[in-house]
Structure 1
Amino acid sequence: MQTVPLYTTALGQAIVGDSRILLDELPDRSVNLVMTSPPFALQREKQYGNVDQAAYVEWLCTFAEKVYRVLTEDGSFVLDLGGAYQRQRPVRSLYNYRVLIKLCDELGFHLAEEFFWYNPAKLPSPIEWVNKRKIRAKDAVNTVWWLSKTDFPKANIRNVLVPYSDRMKQLQADPARYYTPKDRPSGHGIGSNFGTDNGGAIPSNLLQIANTESNSYYLRACKTAGIAGHPARFPQKLPAFFIEFLTNPGDLVVDIFAGSNTTGAAAEATNRTWLSFEENRAYLAASAFRFLSHAPLAEAAAMYDTLQSTTHPIHLDQLHQTRLDVA
């Protein structure tokens, strides 16, 4: 990157700026995964700068065009988009589906698979239709589009196997007792090797991940610094799933709407290199807390002030090493 980062870690760089400009600094076919959650096209304006629904599709595609160029041929673009209602109507907006269709029909992406992130902790909304009039169910699922440049992007489901159910564990322990091989009504047969232990079960495309961060180091450091945490954070388990599924250690992961840099933290934790782009300097400065959990909260808060005013990159990994040397 030509642009000076706000801070760096052992594996990544967090950079303040418009992602459309910063993506232009990256070579063709140099990024293995772009994992991001842009501001949603909500009818009510939020403090993190969402775009009106009418203009949203074209706006988002100005970023996606540049994402396509920098992705490796086997790379992936994963886009988390929440749904929305039309203004003053109990009718759903189609904006997130229009985004998908334009990305595939006009920009050349392939829909490798659609995922749905179910957040069981999400509060009932929208208030008018769910809480007051009680004519709609609460909106608790985001669409997550897994897009690629070819039919065969890099992917390994064995990296994200989930624990077996108790029933499956019983079957594996004693297959003859709990299962008799037979054909299903559809005509598909399941053989006697159905109870083989493969290290875990294949996950579905419904990802149940509660967004319940309330007392994390990040939020405690924000409180110590006298600032609010980013208002639209997604849980680290969400980007971690796709990072482990679609990349290998050492690959490059990029988030073009970094916010509190959950994607960068997930990439760092799984030994991937990363770049995170965010226009709002205050949000990105506070995101350094995700890499400072070794430090007392007061020191982290002081680092936020430094990041807000510095013109030189701060190397967080060097600060950590300095503390270890002193200790």
Structure 2
Amino acid sequence: MTLPTFDRNAAYTTRLGRAYAGDSRDLLKQLPDGSIDLVMTSPPFALQRQKAYGNLDQLEYLDWLTEFATLVKPKLKETGSFVVDVGGAYQKGVPSRSLYNFRIPIRFCDELGYFLAQDFYWFNPSKLPSPIEWVNKRKLRAKDAVNTVWWFGKTEWPKANVSKVLAPYSDRMKTLIKDPTKFYTPKVRPSGHDIGTSFGKDNGGAIPPNLITIPNTESNGRYLAGCKLVGAKSHPARFPSKLPEFFIRFLTEPGDLVLDIFAGSNTTGQVAEAEGRRWLSFEERQDYVAESVFRFMDLTSTPAELEAGYRAVKAGRELDLSKLVKQKRLGFGEAAE
């Protein structure tokens, strides 16, 4: 299946995807309706302190994000999903939480007709204590280490298969499976649920919870190495590859089309390529798009080739990486470089 075309050249092309530099609102309007299986994205958060990648205050944020969500909905297939990772924030000047991230699903569902398939929570155990004022200085709050990840469907029945994202069994569970009668006696729980002997069956793994624990600790992959090579700062708010990997495996099949409308360093595109999904990425800043080519260039590329690719994209020249993309499929739980 071919990828949709636009009124501009792609910044770069791979075997399965294309990255575009431009405003997602303009690019979304050019997509055919009913063409996207999954929009997986992490927009700039509504923080009080301005960041280098751009972010709006909480009062403006909902209107701004709703504009994108309005454009996304008709582009999704009837079985398509829209997954949005958003961080929490405090009210300005006081240790009281903003409710902006919880207003997102209410507004999307009540006004735009989305359906909230499930709420997920990404716990980043490696996150530094923040906000500094309330956590480090005054010792009034615990550190903020959880993002809300809203999974929306265009209908009540978005495509999903949790068996594609099963978690490894614990050692205790492996022992139980080997001989259920030796280690477990069926009984009725206080809640009234009769568990029976179903826990003794090997289903290939445990069903994951909607609390996803992923440390955001990548520090020496080829993306950062490439940025260092050319003297670029790198994107300051990258999410770890395991986050889009989970939802891409959960909500799509090989050959499906995945889109990131706030692509940043294009982690979503890299994971989609590794998982055999077609992909598109939209990112407004040309420098971030140029830096993201390092995610797709072959590990055998010379420093001169890496820099030439980066310079070409930064200058607005289309780059064909279809023969250079690393063809290794990521294993579940393996971080992209």
- Global fold match (TM > 0.5): yes
Q: Conserved in 2, the CA contact under 8 Å of 1:183 and 1:189?
A: yes
Q: Conserved in 2, the CA contact under 8 Å of 1:217 and 1:293?
A: no
Give, as a single letter, the amino acid of the residue that structure 2 aligns with 1:254. Answer: L
Tell me whether 1:201 sits opposite 2:206 in the alignment: yes
**Partner of residue 111, structure 2:** 106
Give the direction of change, closer, same or farther, for the CA distance of 1:263–1:77 in structure 2 (3 Å limit).
same
Which of 37, 46, 56 matches 1:32?
37
Tell me whether 1:268 sits opposite 2:273 in the alignment: yes
What do the CA deviations read for 1:167-223 (whole angstroms, capped 9, x no partner)? 101100121121101100000011123211111100000000010011111101100
Q: Conserved in 1, the CA contact under 8 Å of 2:289 and 2:314?
A: no
Of Structure 1 and Structure 2, which has the larger fraction of its residues in helix? 1
Give, as a single letter, the amino acid of the residue that structure 2 aligns with 1:226. Answer: G
Q: Conserved in 1, the CA contact under 8 Å of 2:46 and 2:56?
A: yes
CA drift of 1:303 comes to 1.4
Q: Which secondary structure state, in structure 1, belongs to the residue aligned with residue 63 of structure 2?
A: helix
Runs of 4+ in 1 over 2 A off after TM superposition: 296-299, 318-321
Q: Aligned partners of 1:211 and 1:218: how far apart in 2?
A: 15
Q: Aligned partners of 1:318 and 1:176: how far apart in 2?
A: 54
Map 1:164-243 onto structure 2 (within 5 A): 164-243=169-248
Q: Which secondary structure state, in structure 1, belongs to the residue aligned with residue 89 of structure 2?
A: coil
**Partner of residue 305, structure 1:** 311
What do the CA deviations read for 1:13-63 (whole angstroms, capped 9, x no partner)? 000111011001111111000000000000000000111111000000000
Root-mean-square deviation (CA, aligned residues, Å) is 1.1
Alignment size in residue pairs: 320
Q: Aligned partners of 2:325 and 2:252: how far apart in 1?
A: 27
Q: Which secondary structure state, in structure 2, belongs to the residue aligned with residue 183 of structure 1?
A: coil
Q: Which secondary structure state, in structure 2, belongs to the residue aligned with residue 75 of structure 1?
A: strand
Q: Conserved in 2, the CA contact under 8 Å of 1:12 and 1:264?
A: yes
Map 1:249-264 onto structure 2 (within 5 A): 249-264=254-269
Give, as a single letter, the amino acid of the residue that structure 2 aligns with 1:42. Answer: L
**Structure 2, gaps ≥5 residues long:** 327-337
Q: Aligned partners of 2:179 and 2:138: how far apart in 1?
A: 52
**Structure 1, gaps ≥5 residues long:** 322-327
Identity between Structure 1 and Structure 2 (%): 62
Q: Aligned partners of 1:122 and 1:102: how far apart in 2?
A: 29
Q: Conserved in 2, the CA contact under 8 Å of 1:222 and 1:301?
A: no
What do the CA deviations read for 1:273-308 (whole angstroms, capped 9, x no partner)? 000000000001100100014223442122111111
Q: Aligned partners of 1:11 and 1:137: how far apart in 2?
A: 43
Q: Aligned partners of 1:269 and 1:108: how far apart in 2?
A: 32
